[in-house]
Amino acid sequence: MTGTRRQLGYVVLLAPLPAFLAGVYLLPFLGVVEWSFTLPEPGVSQYLRVFSDPIVLGVLWRTLRVCCIVTALTAVLAYAISYVWVCGSKTQATIVEFGVLVPFWISTLTRAFGWLALLYNQGIVNSTLRSLGIIDFPLMLVRNEFGVIVGMTHFLIPFAVLPLVSSMRHLDHRVLMAARGMGASRLRTFWSVFVPMTAPGIIGAVLITFIFSLGFFITPAILGGGRSVLIAEFVYVQTFQTVNWGLTGAISVVLVVAAALLIALFLRVARYNRLVG
C-alpha cells in the first residue's frame, strides 16, 4: 500500500461525519439565516424588531433574569454537594453520586412532570402544607416563574457538579490539612483555602450552566405553563403559531452569537486554567 493510498483511507474514515453535518446542519442553518434577512421582506427589519419590540424585549429580559437566578442557585447547590462528594466518606459520596446520576439519566419530561406533581395547586407540597394547617389557600408554585426556576435548577445541577468535582479532585488535599493543622477553623479553611483554589471549576460550572440555560425549552414550557415564556418557547410559538419565520431566524442567529461569545469566554478561561494549573 502506497503512502497516498493510505492517506486516502484515512480521509475516507474522517470525512463522512463532517460532510454529513455540513449537509444536514450547516447548510440548513444558512437557510435559517436567510429567513432572518428575507422574511417577510429583504432587510434587517427582524433584527431591529428583536431589539425594539417590547414583547420580544420582555421575553429576552425574562430569559436573562431567569438564567442568572438559575445559574447562581445551581452553582451554590452544586458546589455544596460536590464538596461532600469529593471530601465526604465513602457512604456520603455514594449517596451524592446516586442523587446526581439518577436525575441525570432521567428524561427532561419525566422530571418536569415530577415537579408538576409536587407543586401544582392540589399537589403534594400544597396538600401537605394545608393538612398541617400552615396555609389556607394553595400557593402558586407552578405555571409561573417560580416553577420554571425550580425545574431548571433541578435539571442543571448535575451538569454543574461534573466540572466542580473534577476541579476539587485535582486540588492537593494536603494544603487543606496544613491549614487545619496550623489552627484554621473548618469554616475558615473552606472559605480561605478551598473555595479560592477551586475558583476555575466554579467559573467553568457557571459558564456551562448559563450557556445551557439560555436555550432551555421543555422545562420552562411545562412548568411555566405559557405564562412565563422564555426565548426558546417564544421561538416555538413564532415558528408554529404565529408563523413568523423571519423573526424565528433572527432570534436563532442572536442566540447563536450569544452562545458563541460565551463559549469563547469559556475557552479563554479554560486556557488560562491550563497555563496556571
Q: Which residues within the stretch 37-76 sit at the binding site for other proteins (CB under 8 A)?
A: none
Q: How far apart are CA 168 and CA 205, in angstroms?
A: 12
Provide the minimum distance between the beta carbon of 126 and other proteins in the complex, in angstroms, as a whole number: 10
Sequential DSSP letters for 68-119: HHHHHHHHHHHHHHHHHHHHS-HHHHHHHHHHHHHHHHS-HHHHHHHHHHHH
Q: How far apart are CA 157 and CA 100, in angstroms?
A: 8
Give exposure, 170-195, as e/b (b: 16+ Cβ within 10 Å).
ebeeeebeebeeeebeeeebeeebbe
C-alpha of 139 from chain center:
27
Provide the minimum distance between the beta carbon of 245 and other proteins in the complex, in angstroms, as a whole number: 9
Provide the minimum distance between the beta carbon of 111 and other proteins in the complex, in angstroms, as a whole number: 6
Contact string 74-103 vs other proteins (x = CB under 8 A): ---x--xx-xx--xxx--x--xx-xxxxxx
Is residue 191 close enough to count as binding other proteins by CB under 8 A?
no
64 grid coordinates: 436573562
Binding other proteins by CB under 8 A: which of 44, 55, 68, 106? Answer: 106
Contact string 209-228 vs other proteins (x = CB under 8 A): --x--xx-xx--xx------
CA atoms within 13 A on the CB side of 190: 8
Within positions 9 to 28, which residues make up the interface with other proteins, using CB under 8 A?
9-18, 20-21, 24-25, 27-28
Contact string 123-162 vs other proteins (x = CB under 8 A): xx--x--------------------------x--x-----
Is residue 6 close enough to count as binding other proteins by CB under 8 A?
yes
Provide the minimum distance between the beta carbon of 149 and other proteins in the complex, in angstroms, as a whole number: 13
For residues 223 and 232, the answer to whether their CB atoms sit within 8 Å is no
Binding other proteins by CB under 8 A: which of 37, 39, 114, 146? Answer: 114
Is residue 177 close enough to count as binding other proteins by CB under 8 A?
yes
